[in-house]
Structure 1
Amino acid sequence: MAKEGSFSINVNRVEKTVDLVIVGTFTPEQVQEFVSDYTTKAKSINASEFTLNADSTDMDVLTQEMVPALENTIRMYQQTGFEKLVVSIKKNPILKMQLNRIFKNTGFTNAEVKEI
């Protein structure tokens, strides 16, 4: 059974980062809550001066069904205009390849995957 989803979004104005942690699988209601919270916090900053750090260390290899949803999320991050996106994952060559493919498909050139 999938782990229930949760998230946190913290704006660090000193370091000029938005630190995002996403865990588990979201319900449709949680997706709406996340998008609302993300939008509110993103509007409170000049995103082009900030790096979005996405802690995805709980992320597993993506199923084909998950790819379109993640592509849409990456597009949302891209449209916000962050200086850079850094997605942190546990060492996993397959997931890293999948994420890099999504960045390429969405045209997000200032995104990187960091294995920890």
Structure 2
Amino acid sequence: MEEKYYVRLNPAKKIIDCMVSGTFVPEDAQSFVKDYHNAVNSINPAEYTLEFDCTSMLVVSTDMVPHLEACFALYKESGFHKVIFKVQDNAVLKMQFSRLARNTGLTNVEVTSL
């Protein structure tokens, strides 16, 4: 079975490297948040960049938007130096991420298309 996500700490580069693919259900989101907390609790987020590879992620379904918005609020609350989302050339997903960042006040975000 293909991995839906990972959260990896890279202290040498001061990056938390994350990958998210496909679509999520609420249980996936809960599992991701648990793994995210485990990584973040061991560092000073202000010194780190949170970097997401979302190139295999599909557009977020309406029922999952609140879960993703809660994650964006969590990224803001954690206080990372910068948050980067890398997406395929997908205008809808890029727009969703930009809107969620705006809605949660996450201003140190960069959404890039590959």
Same topology, TM > 0.5: yes
Verify the 8 A CA contact 1:4 1:24 in the aligned structure 2: no
Paired AA for residue 60 in structure 1: L
Q: Which runs of 5+ in 1 are unaligned?
A: none
- Tell me how far apart the structure 2 counterparts of residues 7 and 43 of structure 1 sit (CA, whole Å): 19
Residue identity over aligned pairs, in percent, reads 40
State the 1:23 CA deviation: 2.1
- Tell me how far apart the structure 1 counterparts of residues 59 and 28 of structure 2 sit (CA, whole Å): 21
- Tell me how far apart the structure 2 counterparts of residues 43 and 72 of structure 1 sit (CA, whole Å): 18
Equivalent residue for 1:107, pick from 83, 101, 105? 105
Give the TM-score taking structure 1 as reference length: 0.86
Aligned residues: 114
Q: Deviations over 1:47-105 (max 9, x none)?
A: 00000001111122233323222111111111111111000100112221221111111
**Structure 2 CA distance for partners of 1:29 and 1:99, relative to 1, 3 Å:** closer
Q: Which runs of 5+ in 2 are unaligned?
A: none
Give the TM-score taking structure 2 as reference length: 0.88
